[in-house]
Structures are given as C-alpha cells and as structure tokens.
Structure 1
C-alpha cells in the first residue's frame, strides 16, 4: 500500500525521535554501515542505473559507487555532530549541535545512487531523518539504493524509517514533501531549485553547471590534456561540474590539440563539421535531450559522422563564446568546445562572459597554470564558488585530493540563485547553538576611536 506524504513525514519523525539519545559512536555506526552497503553493491547498482536511465557509463558509475562512499566516510568519521562539537575558550563560545528533523531530498536521474546515499550520510550524521524524492527516470535505482540502506539500519538496531523514498513520484508529491519537511536539499536544475525556495521551507539548492577552463601558457600540455579527458569523459559528461569550454593560448593550438588527440579526443576543426554537431546537439535554443549522457559515437552518428565506438570524447573548435555560439551552453555529454585566446586577461574575460551569457555562473571553473599571480587574478574575477586549479573540474565534489568538503550538492551562491556558495556539508544539516560566556574585556573608547 502506497503511503501518503504525510504518513511518510509522520513515520520519519517517529524514527528520528528514537535516535535523539544516540551517542556520537552510535550515529557514526549508522553512517558507516549505509556507506558500506552501497560500496559492496556498487556493480549491480551501476548496472541498474545505466539500464534504467540510459545515462552515463557503467564503469564510471561503479567508480562513483565506490569512491564516493569511501571519500564521504573518510571525511565524516572524525567530525563531531552530537552534543558539544566545539569549544573556543578565547572567545567564550561553546557550540552545541541539534538535529534539524526531517529533511526532504530531491534526487536527479544523473546520480540516482550516490545522491541518496550521501544526503543520507549527511542527514544521519546530525541525527536527522531523510525522505527522498527520486527522479521518475531513475525511480527503480534510487528505490533499490534506499532499500539497501534501510536494511543496513535495521541490522544496527535503528529504525528503517530514518531513510525513506517516495513511490510513484509526481510533481504534487514533491511539492507536498518540500512544504511539510524541515529542510529541503534540492539537487537538480534551476526550476527545481526555484520550487524548493518557493515551498516556504528552508532549502539548499544548486545552479546549473557549465564550467569554463583556462589553459595558461607554460603549463604542461600533456597533463592538461589528460585531466581534460577525464573531466569531459567521466560518466559520459553528465556531471554538472565537468568541463564544457576549454580556452587555450592561440599559439599552442597545434601542440595542445595533438596532446588531446593522443589522449583519445576526436577533434573537429572544420566549420561545416562543427555546424553539423551544433544542429544535432541543439534545437530551438535547447539541448537535444535524446543525446544527453550518450556515448560519443552516438552523438557523432546524430551529426552524420561514423566514428570508432571506443571514442570517448569529442572536441569541437568554435569561434565565439557566450551568446555568440549556442555550443557554449551546457551540453551534458562527452563533448568539450575549444576556443583560443590572446592574453590571459582575455581568457578570464571570456570565461566570465561565457557563464553570464550561456549559463553556469556561480558553479565551477578550472585553471591549469604554474603562475600564482594568475591564480589570484582568476579567483578575484571569475564568479564561481569553486575554482579548480590543476585538476579535473569534477573534483569540485570534494575528493581527498583537495580541501573541498565532499558533497553531492554544489551550491552556486547568489550568482546562481542559491543561498550557499559552497558544497552542502553535514554541518548544513544541523542547527548549531552557540553558548556565549562573558568575556573580561572593555569596549574601546568611542571618543578616541571616532574623534578624527
């Protein structure tokens, strides 16, 4: 029998009340066990996701299902989230964690396994319950993911209803969940984020991706090509933080293109050829949804080209950025558009303009450089929450190789109409009280301070 949204909320509140007295050790045990069960079922879940959604690549989804729980647990295991979590004697402050309650989480079809898992890990870390809205296109995969996590909770002696998923999802059901829960985590497009913010419930949303990446002069072209191949090809390019526009020095075009081709990128430079891809990928200003997340050879066939099936990434040389070329919009496929630049300042200007005119502002950008001053220059001018230096832009999710907190929701700040400019973390699923003790200090003399 299908439960109503209210029944789901009631069951979640009842389950959450049962763990309010859990210790940090008990909480961490739950977080560990749900991570473990998804790790151990990485292959069948990956197979299910590809077969159901027809998005991405099986091998890459296996990697997501193993690497993500590993990274999340490594990050969360030593973090305090129960009771007193920090004391700052010099400021007279004691911080105390409190659960939020019932969190509603909206899951995209692009990540039907790791998004439910990681939102659940963050939620449970703070003694919260989680009710998940699956993408209709991925309902079976997300439901199986939740079933496995619920089984893991029961083996720990915890109530299964700490993690639930809505069946037979509709827009109306999603809206009701957003309205009745205590916090919304909305991972998806701008329409979804707007709905979350309009629900009357506090919400964390994300904006669309479309990262520009700048290759600076003097950087190793082979390394840049390798990391670009990874960024664009991973899971057939459906990652919102994967490269879309690559800006490179004009005099290095020949050598850089060779490095890309050596990695396996099939590059089209002829304007007529690129136009065929443009026509295949976009129609009436919108991306062709039938090609989202598809293999490179499928996209090529749609454009009228017969290429080797093992081709993983396509490179398309363009003449303009932003509104000058629709190819600069988010493609969500194993395709990178390539544009040369004159000066580094020119490259930064194009990166900024591309996001403002073609989308992706606030999300993520990339930079390959050995110049610290250029890092600062770009960081001060490119309006993104994450600037990835000398690494694939999908590392914006926060692997162990950088200092970003692991996340499946990457906030884009007010640039992208989000409340948070950063990765949604477990701390964002807690209410933190500050106990303020009196300090033995005196107020500065205002007469002396402001007299002149």
Structure 2
C-alpha cells in the first residue's frame, strides 16, 4: 500500500470518527489543546481522557523523558518564581507576598527519578528484580495555601514515577493553577513532544472532584487538604494518598544550655513563614517552668510583638465564631483571617505595628482556641507548663492525634527521645525550625504533600508507584 493511500485512509477514518462523535454515536471525548489552555479542561471526562493520552505518550518515551520533564519543571519554578508567586498572591490574597517565590524555588529539592532504584536478588535458583511501576492517571487535589508549589511538587514526584495527573485545585487558586499548567505543558511539548501530560479542571467544584474520584480511568488519588476532602476521597473505594490536617506544637524545655534567642529565631522562622500557612508550622508554644519567661523575652527581642489580654480578646472575637459567646461552645475559624499579615491582625485590636513584623505572640492557657485550633495565622499562643511531663501532655493533646508534625528545643537527649516516641508524628524536628524537617536548614528533601492520614509520610516518586516483580528461574545467574 502506498504512503498516499495510507494517508488518504487515515483522513477518511478521522473524518468518520469526528462525524460519529458529533452525532453522539460513540463516547470518545474530543481532546483539544486550546491556545493558552494546554491541559486545561471544562470537565472530568475530557481531562482524564487527555491525561490518559499523556500517560501513554510518556510510556513510549521512557525514563529519559521523565528526567527531562522533572528538570524542566524545576527550572521553570525557579525562573518563574517571582511571576507565579505574585499571580498566586494576587488571586488567593493569603500569606506573605515575599515568601511566595521562596516556596517555588524550594521545588528544586523535590526528588526525581533518581529515587527509584530497582532491587535485584541473585541466588541458586535464578534472579529476581523488584521495580517500581507507574499507576497511570492520578488525580491530585491541591490546597489554597500553596497552589502552584503543591502542583509543581506533585508533578515532579508523579511524572518521575511515570504517571500523568489531573488536578482539581482549590477554586480560590484555580486561575494561577491553570496558567502554570498551561505553561508547563507547552514547555514539555516543545522539549519532548508530549501533550496533556498534566491536566486541570479550569473551574473546579465539588462535582468535578466527585467525577474525577469516581472516574473508571483514574488509577490513584492524591489529596492535599482539610479533613472534609480527605474523608470524601477515602470513601471512593480507590487507593488514596491523603495529606490531612495538623496542629503542630513546639515545646521549649527548661534547660540552661539552650540559646533562647536562637530558639525564638527558629520559632519565628517556621511559624512566621508565609504567615503560618505551612501545615508543618509551629502553631502553639509550650514552655517549661523557667524557660517560659526566657522564651517570651527572647521572642520579643527577635521582633515578635507581645499582645496583652485585652488585645488578644479583641482579635479572638474577630477571627473565631463562637456558638455561645467567647470561650464557650465550639469555635469556628473565620477564614477571612487565614494567612493575614501580623499588622492586619494587630489592627483589629487597635494596635499599629510595622508591616515587617513576622509574628504576634500572646500568653494563654492550654484550652485557648488559638492552642486547640489549626488557625494558620502568625499569632502564636504561649502556654506555661510546670514540668516537662505536663508540657508533653499539653503538646500531645493539642495535636489531636493527627500525627502530623511536632518540634522541641532541648539539650536533654532523654527528653528529645521521649517526646518523639510519645508524639509519634510524621515530622519531628529537634532544635530547629519546622522547615528543617523538609530539608530547609536540615538534611532531607521537600514535598508539599505530606501523607499523614494514610501513612506514606513525605511523598516521593516511590509513593506514586506500585511494586512488581520479575523472576527468571535457573538462567543468567553467574554467581557461584
């Protein structure tokens, strides 16, 4: 058959298929790449069909393509950090503008294909190889707090593992998500010729979430969000990797050997970063005996602003809704103030402070809503404990068994060990800011999806693989 005839046949087949689709005779969704919306779709069926095609294209390109894409996404996050960060801040209106680019630059430290090392066994009966295989199409749900950083980190981990992904981002950060995903797809297409490897729903809703999670061609779910969306994902019947809520405490031990100014700097660095939006961030301080006043004084020396009781009460009335009045009933966080700047919170209480201030602190008891709720604001309560045993009890209770993150400052090895065992959190940082647990100021690597609920921990490419085994009996074994 001549090449001309082959081309003619292909044209005829394409035209027939298009006509059948337009008449509703077959259920094949049309995959389109619209200018400025490469990988951006209106509904779940189109997005999943496109991502399935992207996955199949990646399979044909092999491991080299995965490495190329990972390096490309990392470079784009660095090169576009300021622009994407500004766009995200302008859309979401939460956090600290200056910290948005830093989160994108941190994506450089997300693990890639190099983390997927196959394991081989050789013995008297032959050889066996265990290797990490992709799942296929993954659905990713991302939070308002870190829209593009979470998406970019997920892309690196998931594509490194050989998958494609469809995102259902938080509606409040969907526009910047679509913009970044379009640009990433365009760069991937230009570099290696793959289309729609990364897809998103342009206007995500609860309906689009449900449609994606129940779609027969979706192989795996990755959920980064609050308890509601995590619970919903775990009821779908699909395998779900879930990063749930946390309320991380930091304990300051009564120890003369501690440098309390360093302790204060660490707490402000972690708890004040992006106005406390990090899920791993210090949310409440529990200081033991004499360390209480030393910590309080050091926090002020390092730039934190100490609120008095009246100022705290005024802020509390605004940022929490109480069913039966302040201090009664179940407090509900007013989302308007999530990620607000310290100076904006201070103005609620009639206090004018400089916009450069990174942290407010206030003396409270252990039952205060700022201790018990994951408030995600740069206002840290500090609670006095009579001894280390009481401090550990308060820390464990306030973390609510989420097993997310906890921090401690101490020079007592026995106490460092005891808290780690008692808290049993996914991330445990000793004598450093919370961000050290993600390789920023500490050893390790970063990911913006920390699967606490389902136990995978800090996600890596391996998280998004399924292990398979290949065994050859009695041959190719050269070991005697």
The TM-score, its normalising length taken from structure 1, stands at 0.88
| Equivalent position to 1:423, from 448, 451, 458 | 458
Match of 1:188 in 2: 225
- Aligned-partner SS, 1:401: coil
- Summarize the Cα distance change of 1:378–1:93 in structure 2 as closer, same or farther, 3 Å threshold: farther
Does residue 180 of structure 2 align to residue 177 of structure 1?
no
Does residue 381 of structure 2 align to residue 337 of structure 1?
yes
Q: How far apart are 1:350 and its partner, in Å?
A: 1.0
- Aligned-partner SS, 2:188: helix
Does residue 318 of structure 2 align to residue 280 of structure 1?
yes
Match of 2:398 in 1: 354
Structure 2 gap ranges (5+): 1-33, 35-40, 323-330, 475-480
State the structure with bigger RCO (CA 8 A, min sep 6), 1 or 2: 2
Match of 1:166 in 2: 201
Contact 1:38 / 1:145 at 8 angstroms: preserved in 2? no
Q: How far apart are 1:101 and its partner, in Å?
A: 0.4
Match of 1:26 in 2: 65
- Summarize the Cα distance change of 1:342–1:122 in structure 2 as closer, same or farther, 3 Å threshold: same
Q: How far apart are 1:373 and its partner, in Å?
A: 1.3
Q: How far apart are 1:90 and its partner, in Å?
A: 7.4
Contact 1:186 / 1:193 at 8 angstroms: preserved in 2? yes
| Equivalent position to 1:87, from 120, 123, 128 | 120
Does residue 296 of structure 2 align to residue 257 of structure 1?
yes
Q: How far apart are 1:3 and its partner, in Å?
A: 4.0
Instruction: Work out the number of aligned pairs and report it.
Output: 420
Match of 2:443 in 1: 402
- Summarize the Cα distance change of 1:421–1:380 in structure 2 as closer, same or farther, 3 Å threshold: farther
Contact 2:115 / 2:461 at 8 angstroms: preserved in 1? no
**For the residues of structure 1 that align with 2:394 and 2:451, how far apart are their CA atoms?**
23
Contact 1:232 / 1:242 at 8 angstroms: preserved in 2? yes
| Equivalent position to 1:227, from 248, 266, 286 | 266
Contact 2:253 / 2:291 at 8 angstroms: preserved in 1? no
**For the residues of structure 1 that align with 2:336 and 2:350, how far apart are their CA atoms?**
15
| Equivalent position to 1:432, from 467, 471, 476 | 467
Contact 2:435 / 2:441 at 8 angstroms: preserved in 1? no
Does residue 77 of structure 2 align to residue 38 of structure 1?
yes
1:48-447 aligned within 5 A:
48-67=87-106, 69-72=107-110, 75-76=111-112, 78-80=114-116, 85-89=118-122, 93-180=128-215, 181-218=218-255, 219-268=258-307, 270-284=308-322, 285-319=331-365, 321=366, 324-328=367-371, 329-356=373-400, 361-399=402-440, 401-403=442-444, 405-412=445-452, 418-435=453-470
Contact 1:96 / 1:433 at 8 angstroms: preserved in 2? yes
Match of 1:446 in 2: none
- Summarize the Cα distance change of 1:89–1:391 in structure 2 as closer, same or farther, 3 Å threshold: farther
**For the residues of structure 1 that align with 2:389 and 2:319, how far apart are their CA atoms?**
30
The TM-score, its normalising length taken from structure 2, stands at 0.83
Write the deviation string for residues 64-106 of structure 1: whole angstroms up to 9, x where unpaired.
1112x2111xx3253236xxx2224479752122110000001
**For the residues of structure 2 that align with 1:346 and 1:90, how far apart are their CA atoms?**
55
- Aligned-partner SS, 1:365: strand
More displaced, 373-382 or 86-95? 86-95
Match of 1:443 in 2: none
Match of 2:26 in 1: none
RMSD across aligned C-alpha pairs, in angstroms? 2.1
Contact 1:87 / 1:94 at 8 angstroms: preserved in 2? yes
- Aligned-partner SS, 2:450: coil
Write the deviation string for residues 259-295 of structure 1: whole angstroms up to 9, x where unpaired.
1112110012x43332222222211211121111110
Q: How far apart are 1:203 and its partner, in Å?
A: 0.6
Contact 1:214 / 1:367 at 8 angstroms: preserved in 2? yes
**For the residues of structure 1 that align with 2:195 and 2:293, how far apart are their CA atoms?**
58
Contact 1:115 / 1:408 at 8 angstroms: preserved in 2? yes
**For the residues of structure 2 that align with 1:435 and 1:167, how far apart are their CA atoms?**
41
**For the residues of structure 2 that align with 1:24 and 1:257, how far apart are their CA atoms?**
53
- Summarize the Cα distance change of 1:183–1:398 in structure 2 as closer, same or farther, 3 Å threshold: farther
Contact 1:361 / 1:383 at 8 angstroms: preserved in 2? no
